[in-house]
Amino acid sequence: METSELLQLAIAGLKNGSIYALLALGFTIVYAATNVINFAQGEFYMLGGMFAVYAFTQFELPLLVSVPLAVLAVAGIGMLFETLAIRPRKDAEPMALIIITVGGSLVFASLARHAFGSDALPLPEFTAGPSFLFAGAAIERQTVWIWGIVLVTVAGLTFLYSKTRLGRAMRACMQNREAARLMGIDTARVVMISFGLAAALGALAGVAVTPLTSTRFDIGAGIAVKGFAAAILGGLGSPLAAVAGGLLLGLVEQAVIPFSSALKDVVALGVLLAVLFLRPQGLFRRARREKM
């Protein structure tokens, strides 16, 4: 295979991987605050794209207004979901919360079908124009947007965690929620904001990718599995590990394409099972004694 073809695969891998990274960050943030895996995370991705398409086509808002509006709206839905469906279950029994988020994923997908129909909906690229050429490989403008969004997100999260009061509260909850509450941190608020933040990141990924793939009411579950595979690869701990997990998964997926393009879709599932069965603490962490 020629170098330019390899480079093209690597670019596609880093593009998809960036999307998985944003989803993995969503899983990681919610898990840190609540010890819950949010099975509805993929629906936030779907809703992000849907809302942006809706604002752009129905209200005829400019794209660069539609996109942030969609992300904010989904963040609101994430917080509302936490308030109405997660928080009332006071004992926070993990199995019950899993089932609640599974139910949420069914409801979100189904409501989206009622609201937006069952067709695939397209969105134009954020900035129109020809692809960039780099050493014989083409980079779509939207791909550059996706990379930019991931970079800004990582920088923003780093700032949030290290420099702000809220970020410190979130890190305290991550270490020990009960102790954080005793120190006077409003843990209920931290949990709600974590859900909102995770929903916003999911929506951001969905909006960013819709110009390339279009969106449909039923794409949430499939992408959630990939995002979770990336999150578990990173070990569900630090945000940077989640991003690394996402990029790695994207690259591995592209690496199998020269052998069999049909296999690409099953790579994430294989990675997911392999990591869960062999190294449930993720690639970058030492094993803990307790059972997962």
Tell me which residues touch another protein (CB under 8 A): 36-37, 39, 85, 88-89, 94-100, 102-107, 109-111, 114, 221, 225, 228-229, 232, 262, 265-266, 269-270, 272-273, 276-277, 280, 291-292
We find the least distance from the C-beta atom of residue 81 to another protein, in angstroms, to be: 10
Min CB(237)–another protein separation in Å: 14
201 contacts 25 by C-beta, under 8 angstroms? yes
Closest CB to another protein among 65 and 263? 263
Nearer to another protein, 38 or 143 (CB): 38
Neighbouring C-beta atoms of residue 15, cutoff 10 Å = 23
Nearest distance, CB of residue 54 and another protein, angstroms: 19
The distance of closest approach from Cβ of residue 50 to another protein in the complex, given in angstroms and rounded to an integer, is: 16
Taking the least distance from each CB to another protein, the nearer of 105 and 187 is 105
In the bound state with another protein, the residue whose beta carbon lies nearer, of 64 and 95, is: 95
CA-based torsion, 270, 273, 274, 276: positive or negative? positive
In total, the chain counts a number of residues equal to 292
Q: Residue 277 CB, nearest distance to another protein (Å)?
A: 4
- Considering the complex, state which of residue 47 and residue 208 has its C-beta at the smaller distance from another protein: 47
Q: Which residues of 269-285 are buried (b: 16+ CB within 10 A; e: fewer)?
A: eebbeebeeeeeebeee
